[in-house]
Amino acid sequence: MAIDLAVIGGSGLYNFPGLENTSRHRIDTPFGEASGDVVTGDFAGRTVAFLARHGESHTVPPHRVNYRANLWALHSLGARKVVGVNAVGGIRSDMGPRVIVIPDQVIDYTHGRYTSFCDVEGAEVRHIDFSEPYTESLRRELIDAADRAGIAVIDGGCYGATQGPRLETRAEIARMKRDGCDLVGMTGMPEAVLARELDLDYACLALVANFAAGCGDEAEISIEEIFAHLAAATAEVPRILGVLLKG
């Protein structure tokens, strides 16, 4: 199957609006079950594959996502370009709620996750170059598409990936800020590195749902507000990807 673009939906994006003539695919992988069925269909005149990272009912927490199975499933269907849509918190002052960021760097604070396809018996050990964790050509396509769609995005930024599912303490965010992180999320890794191991083009659309702890004016982060901001940012995703696909 020829897949023009694969999209992994994060919190708030459990199906792909506008996807037509859909088919569902339950893929058996050597790494167990993916988060759910891969849904393929037509969008903007091209073939798109969509997978909800947390399951279509948000039943899979970030530290339990089978990232290897998810990427393997998309790859086995013929995907070569993958856009990960990630809900994040903003650390940098200009990355507040409803802002869309296309990061160019990542720092991994997660633990206990399967981070490589190499750690199965008999697998080839690959020491991949991960200096630039996102595919620059795909990042540029997303930035250009957003510009042509009239949607403001921030080019670049460092995504700090934490374990979750809890939100971070003020002290943890202060440390991440000292480390150079601009955003904080729970699902950016190992997704990016697994895509690289499969030689997939991969880029991230980071949707800011809230300021991280200690970075905004709110005394406490409201889950209701988070999902309201996330819904507003998520609504822009099909417009960006539609322009990207039309070329």
> Nearest-CA neighbor of 184 among 164, 155, 154?
164
- Residue 163, domain CATH: 3.40.50.1580
Is 210 annotated to bind ligand?
yes
Would you give the DSSP letter of residue 229?
H
156: left (phi over 0), alpha (psi -120 to 50) or beta: left
Condensed to tens digits (0 to 9), the pLDDT of residues 72-84 reads 999 999 999 999 9
pLDDT confidence tier of residue 63, bands split at 50, 70 and 90: very high
Using alpha carbons, list the distances in angstroms from residue 213 to 5, 91, 98, 151, 223: 34, 8, 16, 27, 13
pLDDT of residue 217: 76
Q: Angle at Cα 88 formed by Cα 85 and Cα 90, nearest 5°?
A: 135
Condensed to tens digits (0 to 9), the pLDDT of residues 8-36 reads 999 989 999 999 999 999 999 999 999 99
pLDDT of residue 122: 75
pLDDT of residue 227: 86
Number of domains in the chain: 1
3-state secondary structure of 140: helix
pLDDT confidence tier of residue 162, bands split at 50, 70 and 90: very high
Is 87 annotated to bind ligand?
no
Is 186 annotated to bind ligand?
yes
* Residue 126 in this model has a pLDDT that exceeds 70: yes
Is 11 annotated to bind ligand?
yes
Condensed to tens digits (0 to 9), the pLDDT of residues 175-234 reads 999 999 999 999 999 999 999 999 999 999 999 999 999 998 766 667 788 889 999 999
pLDDT of residue 218: 66
Is 16 annotated to bind ligand?
no
- The phi and psi torsions of 158 (rounded to 5 degrees) equal -105, 125
Is 22 annotated to bind ligand?
no
Chain CA centroid to CA 45, Å: 23
> Nearest-CA neighbor of 192 among 125, 131, 121?
131
193 touches 115 (CB < 8 A)? yes
What's the mean pLDDT when you consider all of the chain? Answer: 95
> Nearest-CA neighbor of 105 among 80, 87, 130?
130
User: Look-up: residue for tokens 């988070």?
Assistant: 226
pLDDT confidence tier of residue 1, bands split at 50, 70 and 90: confident
Is 43 annotated to bind ligand?
no
pTM: 0.95
Mean of pLDDT values over 158-163: 98
Q: Alpha-carbon distance 14 to 11, whole Å? A: 7
Percentage of the chain modeled with pLDDT above 90: 89
Is 70 annotated to bind ligand?
no
Determine the structural domain holding residue 40 and report its residue range: 5-246
Specify the range with the lowest mean pLDDT, choosing from 3-7, 14-18, 145-149, 224-228.
224-228
Q: List residues bridging with 105 in a β-sheet.
A: 158
Using alpha carbons, list the distances in angstroms from residue 221 to 164, 211, 231: 15, 8, 16
Using alpha carbons, list the distances in angstroms from residue 74 to 7, 12, 200: 9, 20, 10
